[in-house]
Chain A
Amino acid sequence: MPAVAELPAPPKTATPVALPPTNWRRRLLLPGLAGLLVGAVLLSAGAGAVPIPVPAVLGILLHKLGLTTGLSFELQQEAVLWAIRLPRVCLGVLIGAALGLAGAAMQGLFRNPLADPGLIGVSTGASLAAVATIVLEVTVLAAVREWLGFYVLAVAAFLGACGTTLLVYRLSRESGRAVVGTMLLAGIAVNSLAGALTGLLTYAATDEQLRSITFWGLGSLGGASWPTVLGVLPLLALPILLLPRLGKSLNLLALGEEQAAHLGLPVTRLKRQLIVLATLAVGTSVAVAGTIGFLGLVVPHLVRLAAGPDHRVVLPGAALGGALVLTLADMLARTVVAPAELPIGILTALLGAPVFLWILLREKRQRRV
């Protein structure tokens, strides 16, 4: 046999080799974002027509937990915070976290930084179903409306989201596996079909219906109340708790599906989990707050920019970042044109689009160097 170059023997035990130095930005990111989120929640809960300073917010919260503190507040402040502000802030945190996570998960699944849950038809499907509910006040629906009340729109949107995702998923299956490239193309086609149908319904709508459609399409956390928060909690808790556990798996998926399978990853199961959880997150969000754009696209990008591409950090980072951004955006939406209120979807797009362009330009400049 040929002469073999002398190569180092394998390490018999764990030789203490210097561990790779962890990036300090990566270490600080999650605690930092969590701290900022707490601050944003306190600020946002205090901002509005009845201003409540942060110490008073803390005092009320602790009082509700049965703790007496020296922090003073008025009864009116307590009522406003508890009945109006707090459910809204909670809804913002939940939806922001869910949208950020869903974006990061879809970008990982499609192995494409431009992917967005909207790509597989979740948002347009939800919109179509909601608009159909508004415009086609069918008699059957009227009966359902009686029973579900305000929630009929939310339920329709959620079912629409699940329906389109299922359709796209079915279209992209080849011998039992979802082919990601086909899925993207099927998503584009289904999206434009749903968009066209929504347009058709809008065309047929009355003026009053048009107003509800427009407002709904722009997104708002205005419908928040404790029943809403508790209603969406189980649906959003699933993706918020389960998606961050898929960090290692999503890292492997970056190698390619076949390569990930060689490392023991059950790729088909993972893809199904990602799609179901992301649809749950986005479908539920659209159902209660309308379409809130750009959050799922931009937040994971910003996290990656700060801490690198490791999904074990990106996923929890996108959840915290999404919650932070939506809390702040909602505070702005409520205060800039007070006593009126801006639709939050306009704000996230207004802020998100320039940030996204800035990222693109920055990356372009870095490539040139």
Chain B
Amino acid sequence: MFNVQNLRYQVGRKVLLQGVSLQAQPGELLAVVGANGAGKSTLLRLLSGDLVPTGGQVQFEGRNLSNIPAPELARRRAVLTQQHTLSLAFEVRELVLMGRYPHFRGQPSAHDHAVVAEALALVGLTDLAARSYPTLSGGEQQRAQLARVLAQVWEAKGGFLFLDEPLTGLDLNHQHHTLDVARALVQRGFGVVAVLHDLNLAAQYADQVLLLRQGETVAYGEPAAVLTATTIEHAFDIAVELLVHPSLGCPLIVPCPRPLPTTRGWA
């Protein structure tokens, strides 16, 4: 379990995050939502250990994150970042095998290769396993990277997966497919923390939602409790109407129509 207490992060005088507390449990999908610049990615980078908090703490299973040796942490939690460049033209299966590096010394075992094959199958890239990474489309590259992070924590008990905007650049089908994969992991006992932009997807797939605004928590809890017309308008500065999803019963958020902004100079 990741336990975050009263987290604060500031650069110089600018406070990017303050007073954020949360518990990311195994077997739960936590969606982090909020407007651009609300501190979502900062929170995820603090959880991943990329940034060191200037206040409060992040604990993983009762230990401070900075006290856990990096290799041990790497076998238990994987991170999919927003940017994924690859400076050399590796084959897709070589890329996914990198997710197994924390698990073997020297040569990969048959089990490592099996995990790579399963992870590739799960994201639907089996046929492209031997392709060179730069020749893939943007969406395929993203799925290949997802396979890499899946392979990293494949057999971890109570493992965690941090996804920073994993749906950017994916088509409708693959957006849902990625979240289906996340849910399948949750059912296997993984904890997933995902930064999402689409509130409806958050409402549909998440067990818990954390809504941020200017680095502070607006609401945190079950989707139906967090995503209300009031909280959304407060966080995003846009009026919305809340419907009920016809088949799933979760909230369905529809922005209210509003007049175009009047702009001076556009005679």
A residues near B, CB below 8 A? 1-2, 4-5, 7-8, 10-11, 13-20, 111-113, 248, 251-252, 254-256, 258-259, 261-266, 304, 308-310
Contact = CB atoms under 8 A, between A and B. Distances in A.
B85 interface: yes
Contacts of A264: 70-75, 101-102
B70, B88, B109, B117 interface centre (most CB from chain A within 10 Å): B88
A183 to B, nearest CB: 15
A259 B90 CA distance: 16
Nearest to B50: A258
B204 interface: yes
B90 A7 contact: no
B89 interface: yes
Nearest to B70: A264
Contact of A259 (B81, B93, B154, B188): B81
A262 B74 contact: yes
B98 A256 contact: no
Give the secondary structure class of B's interface: helix
Contacts of B184: 4-5, 7
B75, B111, B152 interface centre (most CB from chain A within 10 Å): B111
A8 B70 contact: no
A180 to B, nearest CB: 11
B84 A255 contact: yes
Contacts of A310: 90, 94
Interface of B: 48-50, 70-75, 78-79, 81, 83-91, 93-94, 98-99, 101-102, 109-111, 113-118, 121-122, 129-130, 152, 154-155, 177, 180-181, 183-184, 187-188, 204-205, 207, 248, 250
A127 to B, nearest CB: 29
A189 to B, nearest CB: 24
A210 to B, nearest CB: 42
Given A20-B113, A255-B98, A263-B99, A8 B122 contact: yes
A20 B117 CA distance: 9
A256 B180 contact: no
25 contacts: A5-B180, A7-B184, A8-B118, A10-B154, A10-B155, A11-B111, A13-B111, A14-B114, A15-B118, A16-B110, A18-B117, A251-B98, A251-B101, A252-B98, A254-B87, A255-B84, A256-B83, A258-B50, A259-B79, A263-B101, A264-B71, A264-B74, A266-B70, A308-B90, A309-B89
B131 to A, nearest CB: 12
Contact of A263 (B49, B102, B113): B102
Contacts of B204: 2
Contacts of A19: 110, 113
Nearest to B91: A308
Contacts of B114: 11, 14-17
Contacts of B122: 7-8
Contact of B79 (A16, A18, A262): A262
Contact of B87 (A2, A111, A308): A111
Contacts of A265: 70
A147 B181 CA distance: 71
A17 B113 contact: yes
Contact of A11 (B73, B118, B207): B118
Given A1-B183, A264-B75, 17 more contacts: A2-B205, A2-B250, A4-B183, A4-B187, A14-B109, A14-B114, A15-B118, A17-B118, A20-B130, A111-B87, A251-B94, A251-B98, A255-B98, A256-B81, A256-B84, A262-B79, A264-B73
A368 to B, nearest CB: 14
Contacts of B72: 264
Nearest to A16: B110
B118 A10 contact: yes
A296 to B, nearest CB: 17
A275 B248 CA distance: 57
B150 to A, nearest CB: 10
What are the 6 tightest A-B residue pairs by CB atom distance, in nearest-first order? Answer: A264-B74, A14-B111, A309-B88, A111-B87, A264-B71, A7-B184
